[in-house]
Copies of this chain bind each other. A is one copy, B any other.
């Protein structure tokens, strides 16, 4: 196995439809990124026949035995205690040992978060890793974080998330100096929590030294309007916003589908408009935005939706490839080391 391109470690046994969609996703990813190689962690007896069906994939893949796998209902604490032989842990360990440039799993989110934090650790200057994802907006795409890793966040956490999110946007959306907004509420009497106000103050103060431009506060409707490149919020609100957005997109699609079935004329109209509407659903396809990333670790770990298909899984692999190629980890290290050297973190902490 030649190691020219990035090497991606795959948790072959994680997710509702594993290992089928993982092997299928690897096959699609191989076509998209011919230079990438894959370490497939799982049960060789199951994986070998699946991989053997695709000669080209066989050349890009190395199967590594993992005796165990982590189920959807395993608690993070159990996974940490008993999960060392699992395909998930082994995939993350390959990243730690620098055998792989990134790991991708469709398995249990909580376990993946706990194990990746334990195995990969946070770099100096990062207190807590955050979960980020890319979302479609009116004028392109934006990054949002945290999506559920940290229910409650203080000003320092949000400040660090802003930097991590900006560097992620640079790697995946190719924006050199992304704009960052802090999610807040609009009602006039509410000025936001101390954490949000503190983070805003620090971002405003140190914007010149940071790889971002600070937009200020935004509201929920600004997310999909694409007002900023990076939306920063705590894990509770971020999770609520992400899932609410998914739910509403689904609702409107469902209503539109019903509208086209409402009359023969409407059905005829659908026939004419179908190609355009299909392009639209492709554009909004949730599989395109599959791949939540844990930012703020000494390694790249990407979470695919548990119910994803092979196309979705391949997109999650694509996020990992982008981050590996664009030196995301080096950028994070450089940025936070510089902040430490400037004593900025200390100033921030004292606010």
Contact = CB atoms under 8 A, between A and B. Distances in A.
A259 to B, nearest CB: 4
Contacts of A248: 224, 244-245, 248-249, 252
A138 B248 CA distance: 9
Given A76-B189, A221-B244, A276 B260 contact: yes
Interface stretch (A97-105, A168-176, A266-274): A266-274
Given A236-B185, A269-B273, A243 B219 contact: yes
A75 B188 contact: yes
A312 to B, nearest CB: 17
Given A113-B187, A189-B75, A247-B221, A262 B239 contact: no
Interface in A138-159: 138, 148-149, 151-152
A264 to B, nearest CB: 9
Determine chain A's interface SS by DSSP, over half rule.
helix
Contacts of A251: 136-138, 224-225
Interface stretch (A15-23, A278-286, A320-328): A278-286
B114 A240 contact: no
Contact of A221 (B185, B250, B275, B280): B250
Contact of A280 (B76, B151, B255, B271): B255
A186 interface: yes
The 3 closest A-B pairs by CB, nearest first: A220-B243, A269-B273, A269-B272
Interface of A: 72-73, 75-76, 108-111, 113-114, 131, 136-138, 148-149, 151-152, 183, 185-190, 192-193, 219-225, 233, 235-237, 239-256, 258-260, 262-263, 265-266, 268-277, 279-280, 283-284
